[in-house]
Amino acid sequence: MSPSFLSGLNAPQLEAVTLPHASALILAGAGSGKTRVLTTRIAWLIQTAQVSPTGLLAVTFTNKAAREMLTRLSAMLPINTRGMWVGTFHGLCNRMLRMHHREAGLPQLFQILDSQDQLALVKRVLKAANVDDERFPPRQVAWFINRHKEEGRRPHQVEEHDAHERRMRELYVLYDEQCQREGAVDFAELLLRSHELLSKNEVLRDHYRSRFQHILVDEFQDTNRLQYDWLRLLAGRDNAIFAVGDDDQSIYAFRGATVANMQELQKDFAIERVIKLEQNYRSHGHILDAANALIDHNRKRLGKNLWTAEGKGEPLRLFEADTDFEEAAFIVDEVKALQSSGVRLSEIALLYRSNAQSRVLEHALFNAGVAYRVYGGLRFFERQEIKHALAYLRLLAADDDDGALLRIINFPGRGIGARSVEQLQDLAKSRGLSLWAAAREKAAIVPGAADGSPPPVLKGVPAFVALIAGMRAACAELPLPEIIEHVIEHSGLKQHYKSERDGSDRLENLDELINAAAGFVADEYQPDSSLSAFLAHAALEAGDNQAQAGSDALQLMTVHSAKGLEFHSVFVSGLEEGLFPHENSLSEADGREEERRLMYVALTRAQRRLYLSFAQSRMLHGQTRYNIASSFLQELPAELLRRVYGSSKAQAPEYGSRARESSAAYSAPAVAGAQSGMQWRIGEIVTHPKFGSGVIVNAEGRGADARVQVNFKRAGTKWLALEYAKLTRA
């Protein structure tokens, strides 16, 4: 008899779930039930006794997705999921390194640096090396280090093409040495160190290959090269990789993701047949037909065609505005109309390509009294008060955490100035000590009372040492939530924020940190509820990009943030050439194809209603830009689009694949050169005798003052006076 959890699967889903022991690539289109397929595959393998719950490994890209998989598994099977290896790449690597910290060359209680902690450490390295942070900005150094780590390169493997790269490599060396001294790892190091552990330790590698006969990967199109190599090490030649992904939704090249891993997987694991999940359970037919037509313009794709049994639904609504303010006013009016018809605000999303677009939209929503939330704002574990509390906890857990000590040694203020901190750093460096050990040494030489009177009141560094030592002793036997409550109370954080004018919100967040700890301890999926495990959890959770829970509100977000989400109604704004597709895509290899995939993601977020809008002029980055409609609009079938009008619009031109020849009808006003008399329009491709080919992205002035801004493929963006520039049409 088939297990009950197989009922309701369509034929391709059932085929994927019940595949024999072999590697497979499941091409899962948007809204095709990929999470259900992946989870049901795990349940089927366990139910049919092909593997035990601890004998498989499943990788996701967010903690939320991992939690959802475990919850679904618990509903399908009467099993204990606590010990299962289901989690993110970073979470699973952290788990492996904790278990084999000696073999990996790490202390047992190594600390995880989030992006802000890493930046702070980079700044300390630059200062200690007397490096000018204007020539070598800390963020640029951190990016350099992370990029090479994510590509699997240690400092000695970095190529030096000039003196600047040579110095960057040297800073990478100093940074690695400091991390090793402090027993700290950044996010990129988690994966790289785990990869090195498996590649160099044959016994461990064979152990995990023997244990994990089945390896399942979600969102495979988002893997970078190092992640794929890590998976290959675990799989060897005999284990089965079950990869679920969608090459049409690969939109994270800027993070190092490479869609080429899908082709590599087919070659490396001899996958002869790709199973395609094409039935969509999210959107109406017209939305899917538009998305299919758009993405079909990409050449490098495995190919699939989404369809639905839900009917065609409404056509896509298209609005052209004179200005971005008019566009925002139109969106507000339509949001109110949707709300009046019974659609909740939380079921409506307003998407944009660039964060800079949100200002005008937020202003219009605020003035109209429409509740909204910017999705992916400052995350809980990245807030100032939470970072301070976590730093105290990190120092309690591992006293060699220099970054944590520097963050809190004088916060709240306790009279420890920059000079005192420098003296500590000098002592630590000269003696090869951690800053905490140096602080203890300095505190130990404070003179006591020689006449038997009470000892003096400790101040400065000695007071800080006494504070931390006292909290460590008091918290030794306390459960995790009470540890955090004690630290918040006795560190001075609570009193500090009580005295702040706007400190009430920060105090509520500190209370929520205690709640988070209580939930962590009570979580049946957490095998370890220690302080160090909670700190690792906090660092990993800081990587998730989830909107804050709350009252009903319109969701504002970039298209990148919208991936994986769905809404009843979706507005895609700013569909202008140079904005979406972004002008940077012209100078990047396959940049236009990635932008098209991003547009495909935007379209497929909508379930029932989809709005597309653009403005002829827009204030962006301090300048008024005159625009033409996005070329992506021309790639949509005209019969799927319905023109709509705002209160001030009487007519609008035709768009779609049958109206490409009429593109001049919606061009921005032309700019004429003083001598040539030629008309130039934004969006035109031009050639310059020195800079080569490019596209006009902005224009201003008339006659002798006319000039255009051109984004050249090789030379970047430049302003050119038309009176002198020898431009020709490409």
What residues are labeled active site? 34-35, 218-219, 249, 605
Sign of the C-alpha dihedral computed for residues 439, 440, 441 and 447 taken in this order: positive
DSSP string, 485-540: HHHHHHSSHHHHHHTSTT-HHHHHHHHHHHHHHHHHHH-TT-S--SHHHHHHHHHH
Sign of the C-alpha dihedral computed for residues 87, 90, 91 and 97 taken in this order: positive
Query: Distance of CA 549 to CAs 375, 452, 503, Å?
Result: 10, 59, 21
Strand pairing class (716-721; 707-712)? antiparallel
According to DSSP, the residues that pair with 729 across neighbouring strands are: 686
CB 606 within 8 A of CB 555: no
Angle between helices 225-235 and 187-200 (to 10 degrees): 30
Query: Which residues are CB-neighbours of 334 under 8 A, at least 6 positions away?
Result: 571, 611
Q: Which of 328, 371, 291 is nearest to 618 (CA)?
A: 328
HEC secondary structure over 51-118:
CCHHHEEEEECCHHHHHHHHHHHHHHCCCCCCCCEEEEHHHHHHHHHHHCCCCCCCCCCCEEECHHHH
Q: Which of 313, 314, 375, 338 is nearest to 563 (CA)?
A: 375
Q: How far apart are the first and last CA of the chain?
A: 66
CB 347 within 8 A of CB 382: no
Alpha-carbon distance 112 to 160, whole Å? 29
3-state secondary structure of 314: coil
Alpha-carbon distance 542 to 117, whole Å? 12
Query: Which residues are CB-neighbours of 153 under 8 A, at least 6 positions away?
Result: none
3-state secondary structure of 127: helix
Tokens of 696: 């006009």
CB 467 within 8 A of CB 491: yes
3-state secondary structure of 251: coil
CA 425 vs. chain centroid, Å, equals 34
Query: Which residues are CB-neighbours of 137 under 8 A, at least 6 positions away?
Result: none
Element (H, E) at 348: strand 348-352
Alpha-carbon distance 361 to 324, whole Å? 9
Query: Which residues are CB-neighbours of 47 under 8 A, at least 6 positions away?
Result: 3, 5, 77
Element (H, E) at 710: strand 707-712
Tokens of 412: 């709240």
Residue 135 — φ and ψ, nearest 5°?
A: -75, -30
Alpha-carbon distance 696 to 685, whole Å? 7
Tokens of 566: 């769905």
At which residue do the structure tokens 């991992």 appear?
66
* Total H helices, total E strands in the chain: 26, 23
Q: Find the farthest-apart pair of alpha carbons in the chain and give their distance in angstroms, rounded.
A: 98
| Total residues belonging to the chain | 730
CB 406 within 8 A of CB 587: no
Alpha-carbon distance 485 to 172, whole Å? 38
